[in-house]
Structure 1
């Protein structure tokens, strides 16, 4: 009987094996190999974390959300941009180091935050360097923009675009009409040598604090005033801790969109192309939208009487420009002759 049972087992096993071979089944325990090893990772979803420090309702916050959606559409969901706003992942003091060290994949710091690392970008911080958003767009689309992105020579950081946030205004608890009104006061700035020199030229002190800590520092009285775009002033509710705003448009604030090179190099060519297309579309969109959202923020603050708002006059602008004009000579050698020459070409064009 035992021999008969073994015979039955043997016959059944042979029958199963024959059926498997007939239908092309494989009983190997080895994993199938790809004919082209480069195709192995294409079916794996890519996660890219995008950290930023402002509210989701600001030009940058909305641009990041729009960019993320465009990337999702263009890659059929195979590349996901996960957005971390309001410094929930990293603040503006730590995000760049995190990017370098592969701890986050994308950031969009203000130009002022990186000007000390890449001195050519200091041209963006010079007071009254740009007349309007159109001039900024012409600069970034032309030789000047090319020079600036070439200046980002970090081995693990790649520049993708410059996103508009608009022009900065001054806020304080006292009116700031003339250069003398700045004397003896302390203002919060981003960590930029040019901005520190700007307030020094106006007779004021400057302290560098992260954007996420700005409201608290104003509330505590650590600083008496600050400069920012209308959308940032409104979304951050700085009107609750500042009584006056002088609409001066004295300086430009934009964001350099950066990606970690380790991440960039791991992407397929199609994925890179999709990201670049999404970035170009988002950049074009935010150029128009930033201007509109700043205007809406100004209207809202006026209509609700949230602050005393003063529109800078031509005479006041002339006095401010005269007070800060020494900065151009002070930083010309640091910024570089070639960058300033391209800026001067733009500045010399008829308005």
Structure 2
């Protein structure tokens, strides 16, 4: 009986020792506090960044620059995969894709945001911003802060503003010198109630055609003209299918760099800080580059014999501003008096009042 008891005692003792030895590392680490900032460090963070323009445009180049800076700063721990030319999503569905978490980052034209956040239509008001300095103050000041706060209601986070440039009118029907010259014309536009109302005010019809289908629409005659920045007219070769261009500089095309809220909040704070740092550096470079590109490409367009370019005079500019004034009263109820007052203050500061 005693030998049997001794044997059982040895077996039990051995098993207990094996359990302690086998799980010893776990006993050591189980009391350590978990470091939230270290979670996921062994897994590469992938950010899919979708946009709708060509790689050689201000936005396309900015997206590439941002991806490079992030990868360098993170030592390869974060990878930004850029998808240009609307290969994943176009203007009509990119914002919904971001809100639904199907994509992590986009940089839509501010007009495309306005379909979900109406206050963003503010940037489509004609002659709201009369200089690059006015645009900077709007984007980076109180107006930008108020608009970014409204994004959170739709589960999006605004991280930066990227410039493209002022928009100008083009047409195949004839020179656009006075507002009435647009009467009866079919104009391709971004989807925005303000832009639609702007052209309806002067008797034009609007066609919200996706950007990457615009060249074909102009070439086939489905539309007569459109409003675009110099860099977009140049990169998409709209000058080959438009005979007249007027440098109206009536509205500004800018992009908001947006990220899906749930994805953003799931990133460790250190990673958020790194991304913001890279984006800040890219934005400084990209906004300066956009302005330089528009200036140099305008010089190239002026040498192209297929399109006639008219520079709007101060008197013509005043005529257009007066013609578009009813839009401000029409949309004050949608945009809010606070935002509209800030726009009018900028107009007065930079020469509109």
Aligned equivalents of 2:308, 2:285: Cα separation in 1: 31
RMSD: 2.1
How far residue 26 of structure 1 moved from its aligned partner, in angstroms, is 6.9
Alignment check: 8 A CA contact 2:187 2:207 kept:
yes
TM superposition shift of 1:284:
1.9
Task: Give 3-state SS (helix, strand or coil) of 2:176's partner.
Answer: coil
Alignment partner, residue 41 of structure 2? 42
**Counterpart for residue 229 of structure 1:** 229
Paired position in structure 2 for 1:285: 285
- Partners of 2:88 and 2:145 lie apart in 1 by 30
Residue equivalent to 1:317: 317
Would the alpha carbon gap of residues 246 and 46 (structure 1) be closer, same or farther in structure 2, given more than 3 Å must change? same
Is the alpha carbon distance of 1:318 and 1:215 closer, same or farther for their aligned partners in structure 2, counting shifts above 3 Å? same
Q: Secondary structure at the match of 2:161?
A: strand
The answer as to whether partners of 1:60 and 1:165 remain within 8 angstroms in 2 is yes
**TM-score computed with the length of structure 2 as normaliser:** 0.87
Q: For residue 134 of structure 1, what is the aligned residue in structure 2? A: 133
1:62 equivalent in structure 2: 61
**Shift in CA distance, 27/335, structure 1 to aligned 2, threshold 3 Å:** closer
Does the residue aligned with 1:153 lie in a helix, a strand or coil? helix
Give the whole-Å Cα distance in 2 for the aligned partners of 1:148 and 1:214.
29
1:47/1:79 contact within 8 Å kept: yes
| Distance in 2 separating the partners of 1:330 and 1:350 | 23
SS of the aligned residue for 1:315 comes to: helix
Range with bigger deviation, 227-236 or 60-69 = 60-69
Q: Displacement, 1:140?
A: 2.0
Q: Following superposition, which runs of at least 4 residues in structure 1 exceed 6 angstroms of deviation? A: 25-28
Distance in 1, matches of 2:319 and 2:348, equals 21
2:171 paired with 1:172: yes
The whole-number CA distance in structure 2 between the counterparts of 1:141 and 1:100 is 24
Supply the distance in 1 between the matched residues of 2:209 and 2:331 (Cα, whole angstroms).
Answer: 23
TM-score by length of 1: 0.88
Contact residue 95 and residue 112 of structure 2 kept, 8 A: no
Distance apart, 1:247 and its partner CA? 0.9
SS of corresponding position for 1:264: helix
User: Does structure 1 conserve the Cα–Cα contact (< 8 Å) formed by 2:98 and 2:259?
Assistant: yes
- 1:125 matched to 2:117? The reply is no
For residues 68-111 of structure 1, the C-alpha deviation after alignment (integer angstroms, 9 at most, x for no partner) is 11111221111111000011111111111111121111011111
* Cα contact 2:39–2:268 (8 A) shared by 1: no
> In the alignment, which residue of structure 2 is the partner of 1:303?
303
Which residue does the alignment assign to 1:262? 262
Q: Which residue of 2 aligns with 1:7?
A: none
Map of 2:11 onto structure 1: none
CA deviations 1:30-85 (Å, max 9, x no partner) are: 9x978536334112110100000001111111111111111112211111110000
* CA–CA distance in structure 1, aligned partners of residues 336 and 29 of structure 2: 53
Secondary structure of 1:175 counterpart: coil
Q: Deviations over 1:208-264 (max 9, x none)?
A: 111011111112211110000000000001112111111110111101111011211
Matches within 5 A, 1:1-351: 35=32, 36=34, 38=36, 39-173=38-172, 174-349=174-349
* DSSP 3-state at the match of 2:153: coil
Which segment drifts farther, 302-311 or 212-221? 302-311
Change (3 A) 1:214 1:121: same
1:288 shift after superposition: 1.5
Unaligned runs of 5+ in 2: 1-17
**Aligned 8 A contact 1:133 1:287 in 2:** no
**In terms of mean alpha carbon deviation, does 150-159 or 129-138 score higher?**
150-159
SS of residue in 2 equivalent to 1:233: helix
Corresponding residue pairs, total:
327
Instruction: Give the C-alpha shift of residue 343 in structure 1.
Output: 2.1
Answer yes or no: is the 8 Å Cα contact 1:42–1:268 preserved in 2. no
CA contact (8 A) 2:160 2:283 kept: yes
